Structure 1
Amino acid sequence: MGFLMNSLAVVLALIVLPYYLPDSPITQDVNKLPEEAQTWYKQGQLTSINGYKVFSIYKKCSNPKVVDPPTFVLIHGFPSSSYDYHKVLDGLLSKGDVFMHDHIGFGFSDKPVQNFTYSLVEAADNCLATWKMFGLKKAHVVSHDMGDSILTEILARRHISTSCNNEIRSFNDSTHDAFSPDMLPDYFSNFFESITFTNGGMKYSMINFRIGQRMMSSSLGPYFSMVNSKLGLSRVFSSQLKSIWGPNSDHDEMMKEIALITALNDYKGGTKIMHKLIYYLWDRAHFEFRWFSALSEMDVPVRFIWSDSDAVSPLSIPRFFQSFVPGAKFEIVQDAGHFYMLEKPKEWLLKITDILN
């Protein structure tokens, strides 16, 4: 009886106390972030996209021997940022130009609390607006985690545009406008030179959800975000990230990367909106069959590069797509976890740039 009462007291304290505790200070000063994050910030810039400041990095090929260099566009996932690619940036630059940005709500980009749904549809809109603003014409697009879902939303629009193209040509301009919200703008008609998906929850029913994901995406999500921001429990999220690293990863290096992910989550108050950031999972469940239709009729090279030890996005996911994505190439990476580009950057570079061959 005493144990039960003590347990109830602890639970009650966890429920009540956060409402009376002050918010933890929100870091708005880049100079207070770890040195590695500050260095990354200096390589990019903030640009206004659809009314919000979006952080991006756009660098030209560093190899003068490369004639007419290709462009690599990288799309990061949840709960991280473009910093995921910091170990592979220089290697990619030896092969071509590189562009990446932080989605709104992540990394160095704005993190609005109100009037923003953090849906995959909005993320796709902002991707397209950002790519166009920087004048990107053609690209080999590489996505990871949530980025896979954002990319499939964009490809679904491309699929609709292609399917309806002949019919729309017969309509007048005002009728054409009615189609535009669900279609890819003409600017991107020849944008995709290749598509590479890596380690994302592209089949909702096959995702091995972490406890943190389930809590944040539940009806109690707003409460958990509040508890995280006030009690510093965002550090508990570190254990969730550790569980999706490869089994033979260097422990010190892993903890260093996780600390950077956590610091960039906290920056600008991102910890307070974690339940909003994970909203994309509901979009994943709702829209994925529309996206599957687009993938089944792809007319550009498609690759699935997947780690064998990913605890959250298992190999059953790419194997599901193997049966109906025409001509797609499937590669299994041995002895790596969810963050393949961080765990084995040299190997990641070889596989990603192999598309150029």
Structure 2
Amino acid sequence: MPIAEIPLSVWRTHGQDFVFRGQAIRYWVAGQGEPLLLIHGFPTASWDWHYLWQPLARRYQVIACDMLGFGDSAKPLEHDYSLLEQADLQQALLAHLGIVEPLHLLAHDYGDSVAQELLARHYEERLEIASCVFLNGGLFPETHRPVLTQKLLLSPLGWMLGRVFSREGLARSLRQISGPQNRPSETVLDDFWSLVQSNDGPRILHKLIGYIPERRQRRDRWVEAMQRGEVPLRVIDGAHDPISGAHMVERYRQLVPRPDTVLLPGIGHYPQIEAPLAVLKHYLAFRGGLLVPAQRVVGS
């Protein structure tokens, strides 16, 4: 049974705003129950979760925001973007909403790094994380394989690329990292571009891309947090992803004790869009088994 999508035009009507350090941040909340924070990736936005939003909201209180520099949130030009600040933003959103219960995380791509930082803060007793699930992302800098656009944005000429970055450039990148049977439609590409373009977003892409070297700087802190083993973790990963697919999962299995991993054959970098039913199935199975002490490796 397919999952109904939420059109971007409808999604936008349900957004709310709060102010974080003087900047307007767009966020969404739905459902009741244990809080589940969804953290999106680069260069897209919280609409990435639209297939999973309603099914998850039937079970949990789901929370998501367009992080600073993304989607329909503010995108200040003269700003030094940081994964640490994005983690601060997530905590500020939780405070704004009055969330004090233990928090569950579901993250993707850039959002994986934000979730890793939140996990490290859990062990510093700065918030309480009940569980964390990672979708495709650069959990280990040594396994991350950036696409050409990312490499160019990291170069000294990155600011120029951002200013001429177009829908077609975005489309080429997204097609390159999708599963062979799951290329995004023209309508989906239009919607992704609308989110990137909002608030003159392309002009700051070269600033946002600084998350790649920042990951290298924080690697030991974040890997050590995953290795602690006190917070239940799972990886659900599109195996076909050239950036952080099966090769990343192999590294995860080497470094993380009792690794709980799910590989989705033929699925690329955006499993929550390419295979939302599979992601939902494996996420709910993970949540249902949190009281089971032994974790296991899952194939799909």
**Are the counterparts in 2 of residues 308 and 334 from structure 1 also a CA contact under 8 Å?**
yes
Map 1:1-357 to 2 at 5 A. 36-61=7-32, 69-114=33-78, 116-136=79-99, 137-159=101-123, 161=124, 184=126, 188=127, 191-228=128-165, 233-249=166-182, 251=183, 253-357=184-288
Partner Cα separation in structure 2 for residue 218 and residue 156 of structure 1? 30
SS of the counterpart of 1:248?
A: coil
Partner Cα separation in structure 2 for residue 143 and residue 282 of structure 1? 19
How big is the shift at 1:99? 0.6
**Are the counterparts in 2 of residues 138 and 192 from structure 1 also a CA contact under 8 Å?**
yes
Q: More helix per residue: 1 or 2?
A: 1
Structure 1 or 2, whichever has the larger Rg, is: 1
Partner Cα separation in structure 2 for residue 135 and residue 241 of structure 1? 36
Task: Provide the alpha-carbon RMSD of the alignment.
Answer: 1.6
**Are the counterparts in 2 of residues 54 and 110 from structure 1 also a CA contact under 8 Å?**
yes
Count of aligned positions: 282
Q: Percent identity?
A: 28
How big is the shift at 1:223? 1.5
Partner Cα separation in structure 2 for residue 227 and residue 316 of structure 1? 32
Counterpart residue type for residue 314 of structure 1: G
Partner Cα separation in structure 2 for residue 76 and residue 50 of structure 1? 20
Counterpart residue type for residue 77 of structure 1: G
Query: Structure 1-normalised TM-score?
Result: 0.75
**Are the counterparts in 2 of residues 301 and 327 from structure 1 also a CA contact under 8 Å?**
no
Counterpart residue type for residue 93 of structure 2: T
How big is the shift at 1:331? 1.0
Query: Structure 2-normalised TM-score?
Result: 0.89
Partner Cα separation in structure 2 for residue 309 and residue 316 of structure 1? 10
Counterpart residue type for residue 239 of structure 1: R
How big is the shift at 1:237? 2.2
What does residue 293 of structure 2 align with?
Answer: none
Gaps of 5+ in 1: 1-34, 62-68, 163-183
Partner Cα separation in structure 2 for residue 227 and residue 308 of structure 1? 32
**Deviation >6 Å, runs of 4+:** none
